[in-house]
Amino acid sequence: MKHVVALAALFTVAACEACGAPALAAAPKAPPPAPAAAGTASALFTPNAVTSYGSVTIDGHKIDYKAVAGTLIVHPKGWNDAATPATGKDALGEPDGPPVASMFYVAYFKRGVPAHDRPITFLYNGGPGSSTVWLHMGGMGPVRVVTNDNTHTPAAPYSIIKNKYSLLDATDLVFIDAPGTGYSRIAGKDAAKAFYGVDPDGHAFASFITQFLAHYQRWNSPKYLLGESYGTPRSAVLIKDLEIGRSVDFNGVILLSQILNFALNADAPGTNPGVELPYELALPSMAATAWYHHALPSNPPHLLPFLKTVETFAMGPYADALAQGADLPSADQQSIAEQMHQYIGLPVSYLLKANLQVSGPEFEHELLSNEDMTTGRLDSRFQGPSMDPLSREAYYDPQSAAISSAYVTAFNAYASKDLHYQTDLRYLPEIFTHWDFRHRPPGAPIPVPIATNVMPDLAAAMKYNPDLKVMLNGGYYDLATPFSEGLYEMHHLQIPNSLQSNITYAYYKSGHMIYVNIPALKQLHDNIAAFIRKTDNVSGG
C-alpha cells in the first residue's frame, strides 16, 4: 500500500447543502441505493454522485455530516474544455477516443455550518498506483476499520467503527482515488501515458481539485492538501501547479511519511553508487527498529535520546567513513562496524561484509534472521516469517500482509451499505504499472535526467506564496520513507531561511501509516487539527 521506491524498476513493493447549509434540522433519511457508474464507457465517464448522511462524535462533540460519493471527469494537459467529445469509436471512454479519467471521491461536509469559511482538505495516498482507502479507512474519515496494532489482523468479519479521531471536527474532507485506482478508471488512446507519471498525475489532481471547488462552490474556503507517501511528492507538484499555474493559493500542505528526493531513498541505494546519504538517513530508523525488537547488545531505556545519539553518529563519524570509500583504513572500518552493531544490532561480520552499507530491504531481512523472521518495511514494528531465510533481502512487507485485507474488505462493505455507492466495478486498492518518473522542475526546459526530485516544486510554491504553511509528519518505525530523510529534505529546500519557520514537524512512535497505532492516531489528529486552526485565517490562530 502506498509503496514508494527510489527507482521505477524497483517498484514492486509499493443544489449543494455544504455550500451554505441552513440551520441543522433532523437528518433526512438516506436515499434508496442509487446505481453508480456501470461498466459501459458512456456511464463510466459521466460524472455521478450519491448522497448519504451520518454523524460522529469527536472530542465529545457530535458532528452531523453529509457524505457524497461520486466521480468527476478529468483530461490530460492540453485538453480543450470547450471541446465536444466525438461520437462512435472516438467518443470518451472508447479505445480510440481521447484519453480520459474518471476520478472517484468521497467528500464529507459538516452540516449546519456555512461552507464559505469552513476549511476543506483534499486527501490522497500514493504508490504511485495506490487508492486512498488507507487514509480514508485508517484514521482520517468518520469511520475506520479496526486492525491489530503490530500483528496480523485475523480474517473477516472486520469491525468498522465510528472514528473519534477523524479530522472532520477541523475540516471538511475529500478523499480522492488516483486515476485507475479504487473506482477511478482511465480509457482512451495512450491513456496510461496520459495519466501515469509524475507530471501528468499532478495535472490530473489539479484539474480534479479546481473542478471540485467550482462544483461545490468552495473557492473561498480555507484549503489544504494532505498526502501520504507518494502523495507527498504529488503534493509538491500539485501545490506548485495550483498556486503558480492556476492562481489558487492554499493555506497549508500536510505531508505524511515524506519523500521528495528519490535519490535519498533507502530501498536500493546500491544502484546509485557514490551517493551515500540514503544509508546515513536510514540509520536512525534502523536503530529505532532494533530498539523496538530488543535486538541491540544493550537496549537503551528510552527511544528518543537514543535516536539523537544515532543521528549524530550517522551524519558525523559514519558519513565521514563512507565518504572515504576505499581510502578508509581497515582499523577505522572495524571501529565503525562495531559502533553500528551497538546501534542497529546487525553482526559486525555482516556489516564488514556489506562494506558498512546496508539497504532497507537487507536490514529488514537480516535483523531477526536468527528467528527466520522479517521485519516490516512500512512499519518495522511488524514481523512475519521470512519467505526465504537464505535470501539477501526481504521478499514482502509483513505490515502490508497484516492489514490490507481488512482495509479493502471494510471499504467495499462501507461504500455499498453506508455510502449507497452501488457498482459492479471492482475496487482496486493498488495497481502495479509503468510509472513515468521523469519530472520537469520549475525553470527546466525539459524533464531532467535524474532521480525524481520535487523539492524545487515545493520551494517554488513556498516562495510564490510566502504565507503557505507546511506540516511534516513522520513515524520512527518507517523504513520506506525514513523520518530523517524528510527532515533532511526540508532543511535543504531552496528557500530563504525566513521561510523555514513556515514548516512544522511532528514525529510519532509508529510507522509509515502513522494512524495504525491508536495513540499515534490521536496525536496525529490533535497535531493536524491544531495546524489547520492556526492557519485557516478564520479560527483566530
Residue 11, pLDDT score? 34
Residues 6+ apart with CB under 8 A from 408: 133, 427, 429
pLDDT class of 17 with cuts at 50, 70, 90: very low
Q: Are 320 and 339 in contact (CB under 8 A)?
A: no
CA distance 396 to 243: 39
Tell me which fold the domain 8-263+404-535 belongs to: Rossmann fold (3.40.50)
Q: Picking from 34-38, 364-368, 437-441, which range would have the lowest pLDDT averaged per residue?
A: 34-38
Task: List the grid coordinates of 437.
Answer: 518518473
- Average pLDDT of the chain is 89
Supply the pTM of this predicted model. 0.91
CA distance 127 to 431: 9
Residue 41, pLDDT score? 64
pLDDT over threshold 90, residue 82: no
Residue 395, pLDDT score? 65
CA 172 to the chain's CA centroid: 19
DSSP E strand stretches across 43-194: 48-58, 61-74, 100-110, 120-124, 143-145, 160-162, 172-176, 185-187
Residue 429, pLDDT score? 94
- Alpha-helical segments (H) within 127-272: 133-135, 191-195, 198-215, 231-240, 246
What is the rounded average pLDDT of the residues 31-49?
Answer: 63
Give 167-187 as a 3 state SS string. HHHCCEEEEECCCCCECCEEE
Return the domain boundaries, the chain.
8-263+404-535, 277-399
pLDDT over threshold 50, residue 9: no
Q: What does residue 449 show for φ and ψ, rounded to 5 degrees?
A: -85, 60
Burial label, 82 (beta-carbon count in 10 A; 0-12, 13-18, 19+): exposed
Element (H, E) at 373: strand 373-375
Q: Are 200 and 194 in contact (CB under 8 A)?
A: yes
What is the rounded average pLDDT of the residues 479-507?
Answer: 98
Q: pLDDT digits over 236-277, tens only?
A: 999 999 999 999 999 999 999 999 999 999 999 998 999 999
